[in-house]
Structure 1
């Protein structure tokens, strides 16, 4: 069994559009230790991917788990893994890297069970699958730059908790592309310079950093999905909530807390107030 934790963009800065058409990003990423999908491998069964769990119906056709297996199969002659079963607990296309986390979990699982996969360059395979897959491969807090290929590990203070909330609205397949279109980022400045990863001495440092850097995609995402404003407002009003922001291109938002008790209490309250939302509390790492 391999855990595929939700990825939370505590910050997401779009620095500009590069000459190659991609957007230069800088994002402080954390992972939810208590919220995520799960992937298991049965080596005795025929090769195929099954999907189960509360959000299984949200996946139609091939998914990133299948893409990860196919990428490995192209490099390993006659590769025939066993049956993979994906337990889909995270909302689909929700801004918390569910598909990327699933692909990364598949790579880790195949590496653990098949020596020929362990010999491959999984980081390169991960990047070929999507911008978020390399950071999800490690599933450790980091600053991600470029288009996701540059990852610098960052240590978060212990005792940082989040409440995640998604209004479970319908989102188009091209959601992220549409959010970037509405952002209409200008060209990347020629004098754009790399900066050292942040060093956090306290939870307060993380909260101040997140508040200062923010999420460049929040305004266009709110334009596309006005419900995000309600989610952010409700998260900000929770007792002992320190900050509420959007993760990725949304629509999942998060609030940060300094104790587990505060987070779980807020989780219960938000579930009662909005029973049709997906809500989860988790420690971040």
Structure 2
């Protein structure tokens, strides 16, 4: 019998770069949410373990080993007597697009293997996730949170139930070193020793979330626009949609999003955007 796990898109509602650390990494603060209606799907079936089979509209974007295979390898080292099984990924999210696709896939693999095998369920999945990438720990939880540090510090945040987004990606070619190049162009200053800490935000309404996102923004937007000028058009088109409240970049791009206060407004906006830009990847989803 096969088992299915959803790997939702991760949306950086904000992304603040607080400075460059002495170890060369960047100190971040990011409010993240997850799309309940947009994501990849991972299926586990009994059988000998092999590399992950990939299908779906963006399968061609994955060449060679991926984070799912690395997750399986990490699990197999710690539980050598387990036979994880055969994994198939339905790749619905654009590859390297700023919405955590690979990280979400690896996290889904950890959840799926844990649910299927008691010997894997006893492992420290969060610790394994930290070895796979900065976004994998928060994707393992797949619920709204504030990430700090390099992504390893996670504080849960409650979002209002009626927060909707339209996601749009112009499907431009993305270099393999995209994130590193965006951070290079950012050229962040050294992390100050006296930086202030703050508690995770508390939101009582969708308007609170929208105001917070608009105020904090995404520090990577300006350098990402230099790398992908198409982002300028995407943000402009999202901002012009009826009842769009804020339009920003997610992660290092090139996927952008607009926030809406009702499902009807977001659905209407997505339909209008698809009609205007049939060559883009566009999705509408509630966020949680």
Shorter-chain-normalised TM-score: which range? over 0.9
1:282 is aligned to 285
Q: Distance in 2 between matches of 1:49 and 1:63?
A: 8
User: 3-state SS of the aligned residue for 1:275?
Assistant: coil
Q: CA deviation at 1:48?
A: 3.4
Q: Among residues 186, 189, 201, which one is paired with 1:186 in the alignment?
A: 189
2:236 is aligned to 233
The reply to whether residue 96 of structure 1 matches residue 99 of structure 2 is: yes
Q: Among residues 265, 269, 272, which one is paired with 1:269 in the alignment?
A: 272
The reply to whether residue 39 of structure 1 matches residue 42 of structure 2 is: yes
Q: CA deviation at 1:44?
A: 3.5
Q: CA deviation at 1:77?
A: 1.7
Q: Distance in 2 between matches of 1:234 and 1:7?
A: 21
Equivalent runs, 1:58-137 vs 2, <5 Å: 58-137=61-140
2:204 is aligned to 201
TM-superposition CA deviations, 1:36-55 (whole Å, max 9, x none) = 00001001355331000000
Q: Distance in 1 between matches of 2:139 and 2:197?
A: 22
Q: CA deviation at 1:29?
A: 0.2
1:220 is aligned to 223
- TM-score between both structures, scaled by the size of structure 2: 0.98
- For the 8 Å contact 1:8–1:30, the answer to whether it is kept is yes
- TM-score between both structures, scaled by the size of structure 1: 0.99
Alpha-carbon distance change, 47 to 199 in structure 1, aligned in 2, over 3 angstroms: same
TM-superposition CA deviations, 1:16-50 (whole Å, max 9, x none) = 01111110000000000000000010013553310
Q: CA deviation at 1:193?
A: 2.8
Q: Distance in 2 between matches of 1:151 and 1:226?
A: 32
Q: Distance in 1 between matches of 2:22 and 2:107?
A: 29
2:13 is aligned to 10
User: 3-state SS of the aligned residue for 2:173?
Assistant: coil
Q: Distance in 2 between matches of 1:177 and 1:137?
A: 23
- Number of residue pairs matched? 285
Unpaired runs of 5+ residues, structure 1, are none
User: 3-state SS of the aligned residue for 1:74?
Assistant: helix
Q: Among residues 34, 49, 58, which one is paired with 1:55 in the alignment?
A: 58
Q: Distance in 1 between matches of 2:264 and 2:210?
A: 18
- For the 8 Å contact 1:164–1:253, the answer to whether it is kept is yes
1:249 is aligned to 252
Unpaired runs of 5+ residues, structure 2, are none
